[in-house]
A and B are shown apart, each in its own frame.
Chain A
Amino acid sequence: MKKLMAGFGRIYRGETTFNFIGKRVIGFTVSLVIVLAGALSLLVQGLELGIDFRGGVAWELPAGSITDQDAREVLEANNIETSNAKIQFLTSSESRVMRVQVGDQPEDIRLATQKSFAELAKVEVQEVSVASVSSSWGRSITEKAIRALLVFFVIVSLYISWRLEWKMAITALVAMVHDVLLSVGVYSLFGFEVTPATVVAFLTILGYSLYDTVVVFDRVQENSQKFATSRQSFANVANVSTNEVLARSLNTTLSSALPVVSLLVVGSMVLGAKNLEEFAVALLVGMLAGTYSSIFVAVPLLDLLKRNEVKYKPFRGQLATGAAMVELMGLSAITKQTRGTVTSGDESDQSVQDTVSKVAQRATSVLTHPPRPRKKRR
């Protein structure tokens, strides 16, 4: 526990030196296993599509003084899952009608339920109508959504390529696909019913994942410019950057996930709004995956793509850990610092100057030991 607290303290003070790149095998393996399990489940049992996608059956009956609770009891008595049943009351000046929609049911259950509803409403069986309902989520919606997503991927890749670089665009998209696959896989594994809200939750995850990756990559980009003259392997740049944004990543995840956890725990478990549960689970899994993948998938993957660039190739394999990484972090700060003093002239306090020279000394000590160039083999 004490060690854990100390760990939090280090994150808080930005002193962590986790070797994300060196441990990439762990991250890749975990992701691969989960994604494969999800993909397998998708292939084997697919997704449980809700009434909005597959259509189902609807009963309409004179509502009288019947409440939706009564209707749920009738459905349960006929062994019909009620968590996603749509129960609506239609009122006009003449009448009040209850419309109950559930997923598709076999003929005998339809008729049995029709009879139960007639008993509930104390009317003749003929007065309760039974009809198949189509999906409200037309095929055109799916087609349009997929087309929109493809357009979005293209534009976002272009934007990230322009703002950062194309390798980051590819990696960010891979991380995003990873997150969405993971969340869809969880849905399939646990047999949750997919509703339009779920689709929206998946889109949310997609956006969140990209957003999170962009924030991390922005720091990587910034640091790789700072380290441009100091001859480092890309792994070092990536490790330093990731550790620097770690506090931010954890904080953001916590503060985005807390409302969702609250939706799950308070809304669904305490207050019993069951239809919020699966929505909240999808969001939560996706958000956690989004943060996880930015750090453990996107950054190591970027390293794989970039470590052989001309700029980084000579130093490939170099990995500063522990104290060496702390020194590198100082180096990233010092470049910032000296640049700052040059540009803003109002830096007059002595203490800052002191720190500058102190850190500068540390930085030069890093720089005076350039890595020995490798011998060229014939």
Chain B
Amino acid sequence: MNRRRQIISLTLLIVVVASGLIANLVAGNTPALGLDLQGGASVTLQPDGEFDQAGLDVAVEIIRARVDSIGVAEPEIILQGSTVIVNLPGVKDQQQALDIIGRTGELLLRPVLQTGILNENPDTTVPTNSTTVPEQTSDSVEDGAGMVSGGPGASKIISSATTVPDPATSSTQVATTDTSVAVSTDTTQDATPTLGLGEDPNDPTQTVLLLDKQGVAYVVGPAGASGKVFKNDARADVETGQWAVVVGLRSGPDGDQLWNKLAAACFNRTAECPTGQLAMVLDGVVISAPTVNEPEFTGGTVQITGSFTAEEARELAKILEFGAVPVRFGVSQAQTVSATLGADSMRAALISGLVGILLVVLLLLAYYRWMAVFVLAGMSVSIAFLWSLVSLLSRTNGLALSLSGIAGIIVSIGIAVDSYIVFFERIKDEIRLGKTLKNSALRSFESAWRTIVAADTVSFIAAIVLWYLTVGSVRGFAFFLGISALTDILVTYFFTRNAVLLFARSKRAQGRKVLGIQTVKPEVM
């Protein structure tokens, strides 16, 4: 009974892994290699007009964050002179690279004329609540001084949020973002023809339709100001129990005077800003559209409150900081870039990797005799599984295998082999006590399993933490460490356990020399 389950589970695993491998081979998915091993696309961004070093440094950070948010590959971002060079691994299409990187990067403050929810299908006319404030926009702007007196705007926002459709339900009927140009040509209920929507969402002089990340649509007027009205001291903070972003205003005609003019227009709901909301727009995406709650900001600071998570508040603060020292990038150019390590290094790494594996196999054969066959088979299953997974993720998530990833894999070879060693050493202990192979194998697995899970969990924790909290090559390493640890657990439980236990109870194995030790032949089977 038990035996049948083991056979089924073993066959199932092999079938799953094999079909995964075959599917990937048929689809032609192969692991993409990183910048150091295979090269990729290189985008050169030339700053336009005025800029300073601090602005460039912040721009590099913003670009890094933007690129890192796309996938798991390890981009390389450097400043060469005053140009920013972004190298993307695994990207073969130069146009694709330009699409990822090539945006203007200027933060604009634009009054909101109308808000609403885009209907995915313009034919079925679903009435949209064009005047109510969707929850995403329930941020409010307050004077730093006003904040002390209790923040009248916050309560107003909370009450309006209750009348608003839940974004989770409304998002189902919302068109996807990032296609602002295409969307603005769609018929939308919000965009009354009289508004004369502009074609280019990045044009600061026209009235255009923009979306935010949740898909809420905004019709925004010409930009009243840029992020330069702010000081670059934006920070996220907990104010009266919720996350808020506080940013200072520069003084002078380009600073608080410009801001106050815009704020007054919105506070008074003039024709220029009928909704009272002021949208902060970066690269054609509405980052935040708070309602202005003060006609004049005398305190020198602006506070943006709303139902932020800590993450959202930090993100907004970072964008405001960037907006304060903007660098406008002009012509960008995409090229294909060759590998830094070169083909010879790649070949050397591959050959030495294979030699290394061969040496390990010889060592195991010498030490564990033909039980090493299980290690070989198990490693083949692991490698097939990893290869399929990496190929698939290369295709879907832009994963690229760099030297750091290879380091992760080298460690994983050691860790995978170690699981067998822990198991076999246990079996040896038991056999030495004169037990039958069958009983030794069963009990050894239980204790070895405990050890393997404990040790792999440590690796896995390392992988998870590094993955979530880091960027770049550390992240690449963490990724491979994590999937290796997971593969080890899977293969140990579903392959090694079943295969060795089945072997141990087979009639043929009894009384033989196993692991170089004579086992006892049981009299009763």
**B-binding residues in A (CB < 8 A):** 12-14, 55, 58, 68, 86-92, 97, 99, 131-138, 140-141, 144-145, 147-149, 151-152, 155-156, 159-160, 163-164, 196-197, 199-201, 203-204, 206-208, 210-211, 214-215, 218-219, 222, 244-245, 247-248, 251-252, 254-268, 271-273, 275-276, 279, 283, 287, 333, 336-337, 340, 344, 346-352, 354-355, 359
Contacts and interface: CB of A to CB of B under 8 A. Distances in A.
A276 B345 CA distance: 8
B481 A207 contact: yes
A263 B353 contact: yes
A352 B434 contact: yes
A236 B364 CA distance: 31
B516 A12 contact: yes
A338 to B, nearest CB: 11
B443 A273 contact: no
A145 B474 contact: yes
B207 to A, nearest CB: 37
B42 interface: yes
Interface in B260-305: none
Contacts of B123: none
Instruction: Say whether chain B's binding surface is mostly helix, strand, loop, or mixed.
Output: helix
Contacts of A346: 439
22 contacts: A13-B432, A133-B81, A133-B85, A138-B64, A140-B64, A196-B404, A200-B408, A204-B411, A214-B451, A214-B454, A222-B447, A251-B425, A256-B418, A259-B413, A261-B356, A262-B356, A268-B348, A273-B345, A337-B433, A344-B442, A352-B433, A355-B434
B342 interface: yes
Given A219-B451, A352-B435, 15 more contacts: A58-B80, A89-B337, A134-B60, A141-B472, A145-B466, A152-B461, A196-B472, A201-B407, A214-B458, A257-B414, A259-B356, A265-B352, A272-B344, A273-B344, A273-B349
Contacts of B458: 156, 159-160, 207, 210-211, 214
B336 A133 contact: no
Contact of B363 (A140, A254, A268, A273): A254
Top 10 A-B pairs, shortest CB-CB distance: A256-B414, A259-B356, A262-B356, A131-B81, A267-B352, A148-B469, A273-B348, A134-B79, A271-B348, A355-B434
Contacts of A68: 342
Interface in B313-347: 333-342, 344-345, 347
Interface in B462-489: 462, 465-466, 468-474, 476-477, 481
B30 to A, nearest CB: 22
Instruction: Say whether chain A's binding surface is mostly helix, strand, loop, or mixed.
Output: helix
A302 B455 CA distance: 18
B355 interface: yes
Interface residues of B, number: 92
A132 B83 CA distance: 10
Contact of A147 (B340, B403, B469): B469
A68 B344 CA distance: 11
Contacts of A279: 403, 407
A95 to B, nearest CB: 8
B454 A203 contact: no
B233 interface: no
A252 B414 contact: yes
Contacts of B60: 134, 138
A93 B349 CA distance: 31
A140 B461 contact: no
A255 B364 contact: yes
Contacts of A97: 335
A309 B75 CA distance: 52
Given A215-B455, A272-B348, A199 B473 contact: yes
Given A197-B403, A259-B353, A259-B413, A204 B418 contact: no
Contacts of B404: 196-197, 200
Given A258-B360, A262-B356, A12 B457 contact: no
Contact of B425 (A91, A208, A247): A247
A260 to B, nearest CB: 6
A369 B95 CA distance: 82
Interface stretch (B245-253, B391-399, B492-500, B517-525): B517-525
Nearest to A141: B472
B410 interface: yes
A348 to B, nearest CB: 5
A349 to B, nearest CB: 5
B472 to A, nearest CB: 5
B107 interface: no
B334 A92 contact: yes
Interface in B380-412: 403-404, 407-408, 410-411
B349 A267 contact: yes
A231 B101 CA distance: 68
Contacts of B371: none
B186 interface: no
A89 B523 contact: no
